[in-house]
Amino acid sequence: MADSSKTEKATPKKREDERKKGNIFQSADVVSALSILVLFLTLRMTLPYFYTSFKTFLTRYFGYGKTMQSITIQSASDVGRDCMTALFTMAGPALLASVAIAIVGTGLQTRFKFSHEQLKVKFSRLSPIQGIKRMFSLRSVAELVKSLIKIAVLFYVLYSAFRNITNSFTKLMYEDVMQAVVFILQSIMDIVLQLSVAFIGIAALDYLYQWWEYERSIRMSKQDLKEEYKQLEGDPLVKGQIRERQRKISMQRMMQQVPTADVIVRNPTHFAVALRYDIEKDPAPVVVAKGQDYTALRIVEIAERCCIPMTENKPLARALYRDVKVNSQVPSQYYVVLAQIMAWVYSMKRSSRS
Q: What are the residues whose beta carbons fall under 8 Å from the beta carbon of 139, sequence distance 6 or more?
A: 213
Q: How many CA atoms lie within 13 A of 97 on its CB side?
A: 17
Q: Where are the domains of the chain?
A: 24-217, 256-353
Specify the 3-state DSSP secondary structure of 209: helix
- Residues 221-235 have a mean pLDDT of 75
**pLDDT of res. 27:** 78
Where helices occur in 218-334 by DSSP H, the ranges are 222-233, 236-257, 294-305, 314-323
Domain 256-353 top-level CATH class: alpha beta
* pTM of full prediction above 0.75: no
Neighbours of 99 (CB within 10 A): 12
Distance, in Å, from the CA atom of 146 to the CA atom of 106, rounded to the nearest integer, reads 19
Selection from 45-59, 96-110, 245-259 with the highest mean pLDDT: 245-259
Peptide bond into 268 cis (omega under 30): yes
pLDDT per residue as tens digits for the range 265-290: 888 778 899 998 888 888 888 888 98
Q: What are the residues whose beta carbons fall under 8 Å from the beta carbon of 299, sequence distance 6 or more?
A: 255, 258, 264, 272, 274, 289, 290, 291
Distance, in Å, from the CA atom of 47 to the CA atom of 189, rounded to the nearest integer, reads 9
Distance, in Å, from the CA atom of 165 to the CA atom of 257, rounded to the nearest integer, reads 101
Distance, in Å, from the CA atom of 257 to the CA atom of 347, rounded to the nearest integer, reads 23
Distance, in Å, from the CA atom of 341 to the CA atom of 343, rounded to the nearest integer, reads 5
pLDDT per residue as tens digits for the range 129-181: 555 555 556 667 777 787 888 888 888 888 887 787 777 766 666 667 667 76
Distance, in Å, from the CA atom of 311 to the CA atom of 341, rounded to the nearest integer, reads 8
Closest CA to 92 of 42, 132, 131, 23: 42
